[in-house]
Chain A
Amino acid sequence: MRLSGHSKKNSKENITGYILILPWLFGFLLLYLVPMFSSVYYSFTNYNLLNEPRFIGLDNYKRMFFNDPTFWKSLGVTIYYVFALVPLRLIFALFIAMLLNTKMKFMGVYRAAYYIPSIVGGSVAVSIVWRQIFGNKGVIMSLLELIGIHQEVSFIGNPSTAIWTIILLGVWQFGSSMLIFLAALKQISESLYESAMIDGANGWQKFTRITLPMLTPIIFFNLVLQTINGFRAFTESFIVTQGGPLDSTLLYVLYLYRRAFTYFDMGYSCALAWVLVGIIALLTLLIFKSQTVWVYYESKEER
């Protein structure tokens, strides 16, 4: 009797819940799910945005793998970008998180201040500023000139350094990983450090033997999240470098965007998108599989 009354109340609460999330649900179905499934269909068609899609089977995928050097180029650039960006961003985030995990005045202000880049970093305005800093006759070039280093080509204009300017912009957006690290650092029991101190461990030992192992689940979590985010980067290469010079910063999503909206090649663009989904899924799977090797869970220890 009591049980059924309970579940009745539950279902009533559920209905309220559903009504409350209805607008979101509606938006999700309409703006995400429907386009997602229609893009699967489009990826098998010849569709230029304006015509009626014509079914062409696997042609888009065949063209991508066997007949499109730009696809391979952009994939290479993106993988390079992600593999350089993610470790750097995580190291930087952890470093700042540890600094902010000390007791200091105005700590709240610092924490907020260090989060700001993550909010503004992906924006068009910052990308334009970035171009003024690293571009030709920009801040960096002028400063180097002052100390006697003459640069013929700016960092953005040089095909071998351009990618690093946008990686740097990515590293600078370390805020969300930092916050998660900060929360995790606070969870590590003080007693571990105390007993280490008694055993005479120095700072580095404490860091490698206690902090890092205790953080591995969080590092794992951040790694997955940031890898996915890295593959989705767009604004950086769209605004700062426009994919150039010589396509050296042509990120995958920028290429996909150009295919769809500049070259009227929507069907192919959808195919590109689904290949990207596949790549991300595969990488995520690999990271999950690697967990057993390097991620430490306290609860497992007790078995």
Chain B
Amino acid sequence: MKKVSLSLLPMLLILSLLIVGCSQTGNVNVEPTQPAKVQPEEESSTKHVLLSITWWGSQTRHDYTAKLLEMYSEKYPHVTFESTPSGWDGYFDKMAAQAAGNTMPDIVQMDNLYIATYTKNNAIADLYPFVSNNTLDISDVPESMVKTGEIDGKLTGAVLSVTALTVPYNPDVFAEAGVSEPTPNWTWSEFEEAMLTIKEKTGKYGYASDVLSDTNLLTYWIRQYGKSLYSTDGTQLGYEDDQIFIDYLNMLYRLTKAGAMPTADEWMQIATTGKEARPVVTGDAGAMFEWANFGVIVESVNPDIKLAIPPYADNGKKSLWIKPGMFFSIAESSPNKEEAARFISWFINDIEANKVINAERGIPVASKVKEALKPQLTKQQKAMFEYLDLAAEHAGPVSPPEPAGSAEVTKAMADQINLVLYDKKTPEEAAADFRKAANEILARNAQN
């Protein structure tokens, strides 16, 4: 008997692991607390609806979004949720597989990077019908922001927030190095000098940012010359002069070789921790490049991060742009599009809901919500709101949307930057090779 129970032990262990594993995939099946309290004026409330929803984000976002879903189910007891929170890594890999298998969640958090691809392949639904029948209320959202979710005449993304690029910096590190804090009109040469001085005086990184996994900084850099990374039709690069990219590579090279910027090797180790532990936040670096909600994300760890307008090129051209932070899209395969649209509408417009969200996803788009939030803003949220107002003064027109194939172009860019930083290629060779690779990728993807 004793023997039997002993051999059962590992089985039990595995079983319990499995159960834990299952619950971790996050079925926030929020059952209505009082199912009897059905609101009679809701016609559809008799029919029970299960909405699946997925988003990427940090633990903070996962926690309050679960709370939001609970709130919604309390208000509309016929709706329950099945949620799949995720980090950014792998989020879109998984969605591609789900889209192929027609098992996309009803509501998906969507990024500017992918919305064109999903729209062109009819994987996400047009929301205009729900706008016309008043299920999705976007009357309080500025027209220019609504349009960012429109592709080929279809509104496939309901924009949730606006944001802009910024240079978050740690004022303590600047003070320690005796470097004056950035002004809104600083230039790249001032920037570089500041970063190098921080390294020299404190031994810390000047500029600790990820320059490999997205094209944001490069996009900003190219915009300074009145060009864009991609051409309007998305079939080739949008700039002709390779010198633009060469200058960029040279700057990264100088910063890295001086130790003022982490090498790819060092960054890989930094990247294993979350945003809350970035060197700028922990006081191990002066500045970085991020979206404007960065200060809010890390506020609980370091409330003193400040946001600066990114440096200017010598020509002084306004190169920032106000970007849709993220969208909610509805899967074309979803059987509950109408209910999903109603939820999104609530998410965008409901004041109580947005007090819970608390601008963590970026600045809310609905103007009433924005006003309602103002009295309760924390230091960092206030800073973000103020930054966005400032950024609007420094912003130029929006670049063409990211074309299909942009993920592969990003990889091609990272390859060339790495080849330069590892001393395998000169910036001139790398810029030419990047053009060749990117144009090949874009042309191939345009054929689809």
- Asked whether any CB of chain A lies closer than 8 Å to the CB of B419, the reply is yes
B95 to A, closest residue via Cβ: A261
Query: Chain B residues with Cβ under 8 A from A230's Cβ?
Result: none
Q: In the docked arrangement, what's the CA distance between A171 and B92, Å?
A: 33
In angstroms, how far is the closest chain B Cβ from the Cβ of A226?
A: 27
Complex Cα spacing A31 to B42, Å: 43
- Contact status A51-B448, CB under 8 Å: yes
Taking the complex as formed, is B97 at the interface, i.e. its CB lies under 8 A from any CB of chain A?
yes
Q: Are A50 and B415 in contact (CB under 8 A)?
A: no
Q: Interface of chain A, helix or strand or loop or mixed?
A: loop
Q: Point out the residues of chain B lying under 8 angstroms from A263, CB to CB.
A: 405, 407-408, 411
Q: Which residue of A lies closest to B122 (CB)?
A: A50
- A-side interface residues, number (CB < 8 Å): 30
A135 x B117 contact (CB < 8 A) = no
B residues contacting the other copy or chain, number (CB 8 A) = 31
Given A245-B418, A245-B422, A264-B404, the answer on whether A153 and B265 have CB atoms closer than 8 Å is yes
- Whether A246 contacts B121 by the Cβ 8 Å rule is no
Within 8 A of A (CB), among B90-126: 92-93, 96-97, 99-100, 117-118, 121-123
B54 located at the interface, meaning its Cβ lies under 8 Å from any Cβ of chain A in the complex: no
B117 A50 Cβ-Cβ under 8 A: yes
| Interface contacts beyond A50-B121, A159-B422: sample of 14 additional A-B pairs, CB < 8 Å, sorted by A | A48-B121, A49-B96, A49-B97, A49-B99, A50-B123, A136-B265, A157-B266, A158-B265, A244-B418, A245-B418, A245-B422, A246-B422, A258-B411, A264-B96
Residue of B whose beta carbon sits closest to that of A266: B100
Q: Is B268 an interface residue (CB 8 A)?
A: yes
Let me know if B264 is at the binding interface, CB within 8 A.
yes
Chain B residues whose CB sits within 8 angstroms of the CB of A135 once the complex forms? 265, 268-269, 272
8 contacts between A and B (CB under 8 A): A46-B447, A48-B121, A135-B265, A153-B265, A154-B265, A157-B265, A262-B92, A262-B407
Binding site for A on B (CB under 8 A): 92-93, 96-97, 99-100, 117-118, 121-123, 263-266, 268-269, 272, 404-405, 407-408, 411, 415, 418-419, 422, 424, 445, 447-448
Given A50-B121, A135-B268, the answer on whether A261 and B93 have CB atoms closer than 8 Å is yes
Shortest Cβ gap from A127 to chain B (Å): 11
Bound together, the chains give a CA A261 to CA B272 distance in angstroms of: 22
The reply to whether B265 and A50 contact each other, CB–CB distance below 8 Å, is no
Q: How far is the CB of A280 from chain B (nearest CB, A)?
A: 24
Chain B residue contacts of A246, Cβ below 8 A: 415, 418-419, 422, 424
**With known contacts A246-B419, A246-B422, A136–B97 Cβ distance under 8 A:** no
Determine whether the beta carbon of B96 is less than 8 Å from that of A138. Answer: no
**A264 is contacted by which of B117, B265, B268 (Cβ under 8 Å)?**
B117
